[in-house]
Structure 1
Amino acid sequence: MKKTVLALAALAAVSTSALAQSSVTIYGVVDASLENIKGTDSVTRVSSDNLATSRVGFRGIEDLGGGLKGKFTLEAGLKTDTGAQDSAFWGRSAWLGLEGGFGEVRIGRQDSLIGSIAGNTNVLGAQPYDDLKIAGTFSGDTYRRVNNGITYFLPKFVDGLSLAAQYATRANGEEVADNDDGKAWGLSAQYLAGPFAIGAAYINVDRQTVPATPGVGASTDEGYLLFASYDFGAAKLTGYYESDDSEIVKAANQATYDKRNVYGIKVGVPIGANFNLSAGVSKVDGVNFTNDREATIVAVKGVYTLSKRTAVYGLFTNVDNDSPAGTAGLNVASVNGAGTGAVPVAGDKAGRGFAIGVRHSF
């Protein structure tokens, strides 16, 4: 009897140890708001994802011994206003990786390095009321995430310093034989020291489309994003700059260039223990990017934390367009489409959006 009890105790200890070495977490965000967007006309509606993208995800980690860990993340976006699936089922993340003394390697669909900085709301933000999304930047929109990605995060050589490199066999869509379209690579570096933070990221995407005339119709997308911030306690100040370029070969030995610049400043002020108010202004200018000439974007955001998991918020963003005649201006982006008449048409000088909502995390 004593041997049986000892055997059962040993088995229980082994089982507990195994469970402690492997875990899977289910997590998510539910975000819903009432918003009014005005462009040529206006539309009022229930909307989703204005403060944070609604999602459900699975995150797993296993201790493989010797300092090696296996990891994965599967994350799907959804819309709280309609319940619809957002893009591909695991469109936000679908990667697995290994972490150890060598650093970390991830493979699959994941944030681009430039998109990871833009999408971090503690740094900038790339939601519908944020300027990097509204301007259609590479970081906030076009290459916010990449397919077929291989990302290497270097080990921490210096406290606060994070370095990463990324390659994608095709950033958008799936690979095609004898076609370099979508091959991409990027780099990023971020440094955090107390209240001070600074970072930079770069992306380069080959847009070769196998034209009838070699080289004609090909393009290279190239973008970089820089930011620096300092938290004074009473306020946090952040400055940033993004430059996106597309070189398009129109004919043999003839190329044109599309260029977009976004530069801005944000100030965040904590008011009491639960309320944070932030405001920012940015300037967008460019040449030849469709619907993206020149604009000034002013955004105000207030978030009141009700608990560790739930917050209420208010958002206001105004876009003052200064586009050439005959060109439609920028407007507050919306994950559900802007609605009939809400997007500025040629000649419109302004667009704005206002939303109040709730965000719950689990």
Structure 2
Amino acid sequence: MKKSLLALALLGAYAAGAYAQSSVTIYGIIDESVAKGNGGTAGSGGVAALGTSKAWQVRDGGPGSRLGFRGNEDLGGGLSAQFLIEHRFSPDTGNTNPGTQPAASNTFWFGGSYVQLTSSMVGSVYLGRWYSPAFWVSLKTDPFGYGGIAQVGALTFANYTNPSAVGLGARTTNTVGYKTPNWGGLTANVAVGLGEGGTAGRDTGVNIEFTSGPIYAGLAYDKINSGTPTFSATSGAVDGNSLIVAGFAYNFGFIRPMISYATSETRTGSVVDTDALSFGLTAPAGPGLIKAQYTMRNTDAAPLAGVPVDVKLKKLGIGYDYFLSKRTKVYADYTAIRETNLTNHSAFALGVRHDF
């Protein structure tokens, strides 16, 4: 009898331990490149960090070198808890403020920091700092993965930024978000970046994505509410700024073409309407991958006495990734940019990236 009771106690302890299984993963990217531009003043995305210098530069080469920690705990009954904290840095200097982060910022977990509760039946609720729903559509229709000098990147935001972000509009702070389960390839994400003092406003975003076999399709909407109700010189910190972005891709195996379109309305001293259209592709080639994109952005504004100003930007990006292993690759990227009233800018970069 005593042996039976002991066996039951051990079995109960084992079962409780099984339900409380947890894991913590350390992950990251180290990406370094040697880059050179022609000194042009036109610029966007990764090439803007080169400035107007014609000198050779060593710089963080890709979507942002990072060190992150993520964890998962099984709570039983289809419930689980997750967390993530991610630090961005420039490996060439050790600086905690890479090119995508304002130099004055002291945001250590710039890449993201959230806690999340998940139900396998209902979905996930998260709180903290994380990517906006619109970012995912941009990322999945950018052949360069939203990184490097040839990326489409923030061009798919069509000049839109959000006030709850630090740096670019791709992330929101003070965020409460909900992600649905995957329903046969269909998912949705709703997130609200709440204000934290001042008149920064409330950022509300939503996306719907469909992924099935070779198909990807996404649609997202983002808007600022309850901010400063009049025109402001501070981009994004006003009431009514809005963004719509849509993307589609199809993987034929030998090539994966993709397209994205974005339109935004912002208020920076006047109403500014911007459209951005991007065509891209990736194609396997030997042990590597060819990448290419062509993006056109058109901005219509009326900053002076109602006289329209039409600013056009065109960006070409091509590149090749050569995979030394599943985690390590070397790459070469080239970009050329034309922009109204600015000098043409071209640049190339040679780099090494290791994922861990």
TM-score by length of 1: 0.79
- Residue in 2 that maps onto 1:334: none
- Corresponding residue SS for 2:200: coil
- Residue in 2 that maps onto 1:154: 180
Quick one: which of 283, 300, 315 aligns to 1:269?
283
| 1:71 to 2:82 alignment | yes
- Structure 1 pair 12–303 and aligned structure 2 pair: CA distance change class (3 A): farther
- Corresponding residue SS for 2:55: strand
Cα deviations by residue, 1:258-301 (Å, 9 ceiling, x for unpaired): 122110111211013x3000111111110239999212111002
8 Å CA contact 1:219–1:246 kept in 2: the answer is no
- Residue in 2 that maps onto 1:126: 146
- Residue in 1 that maps onto 2:47: none
8 Å CA contact 1:32–1:47 kept in 2: the answer is yes
8 Å CA contact 1:312–1:359 kept in 2: the answer is yes
What are structure 2's unaligned runs of at least 5 residues?
Answer: 41-52, 102-106, 233-237, 304-308
TM-fit CA distance, 1:123: 6.0
What are structure 1's unaligned runs of at least 5 residues?
Answer: 251-255, 330-347
Within 5 Å, which residues of 2 pair with 1:291-310?
Answer: 293-310=311-328
8 Å CA contact 2:28–2:68 kept in 1: the answer is yes
- Residue in 2 that maps onto 1:200: 219
Quick one: which of 126, 132, 136 aligns to 1:106?
126
- Residue in 2 that maps onto 1:187: 206
- Structure 1 pair 119–239 and aligned structure 2 pair: CA distance change class (3 A): closer
- Structure 1 pair 103–230 and aligned structure 2 pair: CA distance change class (3 A): same
8 Å CA contact 1:180–1:208 kept in 2: the answer is yes
Quick one: which of 258, 264, 268 aligns to 1:238?
258
- Residue in 2 that maps onto 1:54: 65
Q: Distance in 1 between matches of 2:302 and 2:57?
A: 30
8 Å CA contact 1:118–1:124 kept in 2: the answer is no
| 1:356 to 2:350 alignment | yes
8 Å CA contact 1:278–1:302 kept in 2: the answer is yes
Quick one: which of 245, 258, 271 aligns to 1:257?
271
- Residue in 1 that maps onto 2:48: none
TM-fit CA distance, 1:160: 0.6
8 Å CA contact 1:31–1:51 kept in 2: the answer is yes
TM-fit CA distance, 1:122: 6.7
8 Å CA contact 2:328–2:353 kept in 1: the answer is yes
TM-fit CA distance, 1:12: 12
Q: Distance in 1 between matches of 2:347 and 2:201?
A: 34
TM-fit CA distance, 1:38: 2.1
TM-fit CA distance, 1:92: 0.8
- Structure 1 pair 125–266 and aligned structure 2 pair: CA distance change class (3 A): same
- Corresponding residue SS for 1:227: strand
Q: Distance in 2 between matches of 1:35 and 1:289?
A: 37
8 Å CA contact 1:62–1:71 kept in 2: the answer is yes
- Structure 1 pair 90–120 and aligned structure 2 pair: CA distance change class (3 A): farther
Identity of aligned residues (%): 28
- Corresponding residue SS for 1:42: coil
| 1:85 to 2:96 alignment | yes
- Corresponding residue SS for 1:90: coil
Q: Distance in 2 between matches of 1:67 and 1:60?
A: 17
- Structure 1 pair 300–207 and aligned structure 2 pair: CA distance change class (3 A): farther
8 Å CA contact 1:301–1:316 kept in 2: the answer is yes
- Structure 1 pair 297–215 and aligned structure 2 pair: CA distance change class (3 A): closer
